[in-house]
Amino acid sequence: MKTSYFSNIKNLEVPLSISQGPPKWYEGPEFKPLAPPWELVRKAHAGLSEADYEAEYRRLVLDHFDPRELYDAIIEEHGPNVVLLCFEKLATPGEYCHRRMVAKWFEENLKVEVPEWTKPAAKSTLTF
């Protein structure tokens, strides 16, 4: 399991949207129970701090799940190469998103690694 954002879709083997409203062009599977409520999204866009957002997201969403059961269910349904998706690119310091909060929650509770997806390094075509 990894995390990423929708713009990486062409690079991902098994995408899984965890957003309230994925892009119109997205036709892959969705898991809306992990999506933040719209009101929380509005608060984030209005400047809610990351710490306050995370506390609210955990209270409103994550606290309703058992981390082991949820992790296992996602892996069973979508396989180990599943990538949890939302919109944020996280390219600027200070940006945050709920997909990384889900990853952190799994990591804290299950002692697993849920990294952000990165493009594999290009293989060298040099021969000697």
What residue segments make up the domains of the chain, in order of their start? 2-110
The pLDDT, as a whole number, for residue 92 is 76
Q: Are 34 and 102 in contact (CB under 8 A)?
A: yes
Which residues neighbour 9 within 8 Å (Cβ) at sequence distance 6 or greater?
A: 15, 26, 28, 85
Pairing of strands 2-5, 82-86: parallel
Under-70 pLDDT residues of the chain: 121-128
> How far apart are alpha carbons 121 and 95 in whole angstroms?
25
Residue 9, pLDDT score = 93
pLDDT at res. 128:
55
Judged by DSSP in three states, 41 sits in helix
What is the structure's pLDDT at 72? 98
pLDDT at 90: 83
Note the pTM of the prediction, 2 decimals: 0.89
The pLDDT value given to residue 122: 62
Tokens coding 41: 């999204």
pLDDT of residue 73: 98
Query: Residue 41 contacts by C-beta under 8 Å, 6 or more apart in sequence?
Result: 20
Is the Cβ–Cβ distance between 99 and 18 less than 8 Å?
Answer: yes
